Structure 1
Amino acid sequence: MGLLGTIWHRLPLSPAMLYLPIGFALGPSGAGLVTLDPYGNAALLTLLTEIALLISLFTVGLKLRVPLADRIWRLPLRLGVVGMLVTSALLALAGFYVFGLPPGIAVLLGAILSPTDPVLASDVQVHDAGDRDRLRFSLSGEGGMNDGTAYPVVMLGLFLLGVEEARDYGSRWAPLMAMWGILAGFGSGFLLSRGVVRLALHLRQHYHKALGMEEFLTLGLIAASYGVSHLVHGVGFIAVFAAGVAMRRIEHERSGTTSPTEMIGAVPAGDAPAVATHPQKAPAYMAETVLGFNQQLEHIAEFVMVLLLGIMLSAAGFSLDGVIAAALLFLVVRPVSVVLALLGEKTGRTQRVLMAWFGIRGIGSLYYLVFALQYDWAMDMKQRLVSMVLTAVAISILLHGISATPLMERYHRRRQALVDE
Structure 2
Amino acid sequence: MMLIFGGLAAFLLPELPPLPDPVSSPAIWEHVSEMAVIVALFGAGMRIDEIGSWGRWRPATRLLAVAMPLTIIAVALLGVGVASLSFASAVLLGAILAPTDPVLASDVQVGPPHKGEERPVRFALTTEAGLNDGLAFPFVYLALFVAHEGITPVTWGLEWIGKDVIYKIVIGGVVGWAGGRALGFVLFNIPRNAALAETGSGVIALAGVFLCYGSSELIEGYGFIAVAVMGFTLRRIEKENDFHRRLHDFSEAIEHGLTALILVAFGSVLPVLLADLIWTHVAIALLLILVVRPVTGWISLLGTSLSARERLVVAIYGVRGIGSIYYLAYATSQGEIEEQAELWSIVAIVVLLSTILHGFTGGRAMEWLRPPGRQNEKAAGATEQF
TM-score by length of 1: 0.81
Distance in 1, Cα, partners of 2:264 & 2:83: 28
- The residue identity in structure 1 corresponding to 2:119 is D
> Superposition pairs for residues 240-389 of structure 1, below 5 Å?
240-252=227-239, 255=240, 284-317=241-274, 319=277, 320-377=279-336, 381-389=339-347
- The residue identity in structure 2 corresponding to 1:172 is L
Where do 5+ consecutive residues of structure 2 fail to align? 376-386
Q: Which residue in the other structure is 1:154 paired with? A: 140
Q: Deviation of residue 145 (structure 1)?
A: 0.8
Q: Deviation of residue 309 (structure 1)?
A: 1.9
Q: Deviation of residue 329 (structure 1)?
A: 0.7
Distance in 2, Cα, partners of 1:223 & 1:321: 39
- The residue identity in structure 1 corresponding to 2:242 is Y
Contact 2:3 2:352 in 1 (8 A): yes
Distance in 2, Cα, partners of 1:401 & 1:195: 37
Indicate the structure (1 or 2) with the bigger Cα radius of gyration: 1
**Of 100, 118, 124, the match for 2:108:** 124
Q: Deviation of residue 382 (structure 1)?
A: 0.7
In structure 2, relative to structure 1, the CA distance for the partners of 1:224 and 1:169 (3 Å cut) is: farther
Q: Which residue in the other structure is 2:366 paired with? A: 408
Q: Which residue in the other structure is 1:396 paired with? A: 354
Q: Which residue in the other structure is 2:69 paired with? A: 85
Q: Deviation of residue 392 (structure 1)?
A: 1.0
More off after superposition, 119-128 vs 295-304: 119-128
Q: Deviation of residue 80 (structure 1)?
A: 2.7
Distance in 2, Cα, partners of 1:169 & 1:334: 32
Q: Which residue in the other structure is 2:56 paired with? A: 72
Offset from partner CA, 1:130-189 (integer Å, 9 cap, x none): 54210011111111111111111011112211179xx99932232232122222212211
Q: Does 1:41 align with 2:28?
A: no
SS in 1 for 2:236: helix
In structure 2, relative to structure 1, the CA distance for the partners of 1:54 and 1:194 (3 Å cut) is: same
Q: Which residue in the other structure is 2:223 paired with? A: 236
Contact 1:323 1:388 in 2 (8 A): yes
SS in 2 for 1:161: helix
Structure 1 segments, 4+ long, off by >4 Å, are none
Offset from partner CA, 1:3-24 (integer Å, 9 cap, x none): xxxxxxxxxxxxxxx2111111
**Of 106, 121, 129, the match for 2:90:** 106
- The residue identity in structure 1 corresponding to 2:202 is E
Q: Deviation of residue 323 (structure 1)?
A: 1.7
- Percent identical across equivalent pairs? 32
Q: Deviation of residue 213 (structure 1)?
A: 5.6
- The residue identity in structure 1 corresponding to 2:295 is V
Distance in 2, Cα, partners of 1:250 & 1:22: 41
Distance in 2, Cα, partners of 1:299 & 1:291: 12
Q: Deviation of residue 317 (structure 1)?
A: 1.6
Distance in 2, Cα, partners of 1:243 & 1:105: 32
**CA-based RMSD:** 2.3
In structure 2, relative to structure 1, the CA distance for the partners of 1:30 and 1:172 (3 Å cut) is: farther
Where do 5+ consecutive residues of structure 1 fail to align? 1-17, 256-283
**Of 207, 219, 227, the match for 2:214:** 227
Distance in 2, Cα, partners of 1:213 & 1:127: 20
Aligned residues: 365
**Of 63, 70, 81, the match for 1:97:** 81
Distance in 2, Cα, partners of 1:209 & 1:160: 51
